Amino acid sequence: MTALPETMRAVEITKPGGPEVLALCERPLPAPGADEILIRVAAAGVNRPDCLQRAGAYPPPPGASPLPGLEASGEVVAIGASVTRWKVGDRVCALLNGGGYAEYAACHEDHALAVPAGLSMEEAAALPETFFTVWTNVFDRGRLKAGETFLVHGGSSGIGTTAIQLAKAFGARVFTTVGGADKAETCRKLGAEIAVNYREADYVSALRESTGGKGVDLILDMVGGDYIPRNVKLAAESGRIVQIAFLQGPEVSLNFAQVMVKRLTITGSTLRPRSVAEKAAIAESLREKAWPLIAAGRVKPVMAAAFPLAEAAAAHRLMEGSTHIGKIVLTM
C-alpha cells in the first residue's frame, strides 16, 4: 500500500467575510478515530451552509473540522480499529461534519454510502448533504405518502432538484417555486407537475387553484420570511410545513388561528448538529430506499458546475448568485 502523505492541500476560512476570505492552505492529514474512515477526496459538494460558515454565521459543532465542506466522495485509504463496514479501496460518498474542502477527510463509517454504479465521483459528491436533508425532512418529519401533494420552494437548488425527484418517485404530486423559465422547465422535466415563477405569479393562488381549493399536504421551505404565513395559508387541513433554512429571515408575524383551525404541523430541523446515531439511521434509510432508485436511473443529481479546489471562492460566488440549477462541486 502506498504510504500516505503527512500534509494535504485544503481551503480554509481566513476570517469571516465574503468569498475572497477562502484561501488554499496546507494542513496535516486528519487521523481517523476508531470508528472512522479516511477518504482521499475526489470531489466535495458546495452548499449554502458553507457560505454561512464562511460569513461567520454557522460555526462548526464541537470537535468538527474548522474547514468548510459537508459532503465528499472518494476512496477509502485508511480505517479505524473498530471499522467493519468499509475496507481500503472502497469508493464512497459521505456526510461530513466539516473538512470536505481538502484532499483528505475523515468521517464516521456509518455516515458513508457506496458510490452508486454509473455515477461519476463529481456526481457522487453531490449526493450526501441534499439526500440526507431531503430524506429526514420530507419522509421522516414530513411523513410524505403516495398520492399526497408536495411543494418544495427553490426547486432548482440542490435540495429542490433532489426533493422533486424523490417525492415523484414515491408517488406524490409535486409542485415547486422557481425564479425563471429555464429553472421551471428543468423542474418539470424532473417530475414537478407545476413550477410557479414567483417573479410572475402568486404561488398560493396558483396552487390552491391546482388543488381544487384543498391546498398542499406538505411544504418544504428554505426561504422563510413572508413565505411562512403564505405557506400556512396554502397548507391543506392536517397539512405539514417543514422549515430547513431562512434565506429571507426567521422572524415573521403569523396568525396562529389558521394553524389551529387547519390542525397544521409546523416543524423544522438542522442536520449538522444531529447525533452520530441519528445520521446513521438516515444513511440506512437512504441505502435501503433511495440508493436503488439512483442505481435504476430514476433519480440522479443535477449538476450545475465543477471548480478546482483552488477556485472555491468562485464556487461560492456562483452559489450566492442563485443563477445556477442543481449542485456545485469542487474537484481535487
Q: How much is the pTM?
A: 0.96
- 81-125 pLDDT tens trace: 999 999 999 999 999 999 999 999 999 999 999 999 999 999 999
Going from the first residue of the chain to its last (332 residues), give the mean pLDDT of each consecutive group of 10, the final group possibly shorter.
90 98 98 97 97 95 95 98 98 98 98 97 98 98 98 97 98 97 97 97 97 98 96 98 94 94 97 96 98 96 98 98 96 96
Q: In this structure, how many other beta carbons lie within 10 angstroms of the beta carbon of residue 198? A: 18
The cell numbers describing 102, all together, are 481538502
How much is the pLDDT for 162?
A: 98
CATH C-level class of 7-127+272-331: alpha beta
Place of cell 425563471: 180
Superfamily of domain 131-268: NAD(P)-binding Rossmann-like Domain (3.40.50.720)
β partners of residue 207: none
Domain range annotation of the chain: 7-127+272-331, 131-268
Please, what's the b/e burial string for 68-93 (b: 16 or more CB within 10 A of its CB; e: otherwise)? Answer: bbbbbbbbbbbbbeebebbeeebbbb
